[in-house]
Amino acid sequence: MLVTVLGFYGGYPYKGIGTSGYLLKDGDKNYLIDCGSGVLNSLASYMKPTDLDGVILSHYHHDHTADVGVLQYEWLAAKKENLLPIYGHTQDFVNFAQLSVDNATKGIAYNDYEPTQIDDLKFEFMRTVHPVPAYAMRITDKDGKVIVYTADTTYFDGLVDFAKDADLLIADTNFPEDVTGRKAHLNTKEAGTLAKESNVKRLMISHLPQTVDADVMLKQSQKYAEDVPVIHAFQGLEVEV
């Protein structure tokens, strides 16, 4: 599997860089994990968006879905014979219903009590702790390699078991370590600790803030991850698993 970062900011795009979006390549298949603001334009640098094999959405906050609508327009304009599958949860029926557009896209429901098989990839989902229903993803390929994406969440114990022994953990790391208390995202201490406690092989911190230097976020996360190598997301970063 190859992960390419298309956007990594939380909340809103900044200086030409988009919010959450990752291109996941597995063999000759290409999937989009979340589709935030600016992601579609970034994706077009790597491939025709109308050649995607699927989109998987963690939740329906705009910084993860803002470009879904324009992606649907592009598929309509291309007059594709096949519909693009967009996977989402049904805890918000209004937003889920908007994933289906005649002659363009088809919304497909996932849940957290059984895996969803998408071609050669097994997706497992776990609901996180966030102001709206959101789901972490554990993605396993046919060779047993594992990518875990926390999506948006504050820290809770279930994350450790869900991320256990992953080859790559992509962690929502929206705050530096001094931001504590009630919050909707992980801070650098929590992201690093999660990586260490779950024994992952590599941590990528993402969903980064616009107002804190990424190298500061990296240094803090690495301190708590200890021996687990940490990288910070940047546009165009490619990580092979």
pLDDT of residue 91: 97
Amino acid at 85: P
Where helices occur in 44-165 by DSSP H, the ranges are 62-65, 68-78, 93-97, 158-163
Mean of per-residue pLDDT scores for the chain:
97
pLDDT of residue 113: 95
Measured CA to CA, the distance from residue 170 to residue 221 in angstroms comes to 12
Interval 25-62: pLDDT, tens: 999 999 999 999 999 999 999 999 999 999 999 999 99
For residues 212-229, give the mean pLDDT: 98
- Predicted structure pTM score: 0.97
pLDDT of residue 165: 98
Measured CA to CA, the distance from residue 93 to residue 62 in angstroms comes to 16
Interval 58-91: pLDDT, tens: 999 999 999 999 999 999 999 999 999 999 999 9
Task: Give 123's pLDDT tier (boundaries 50, 70, 90).
Answer: very high
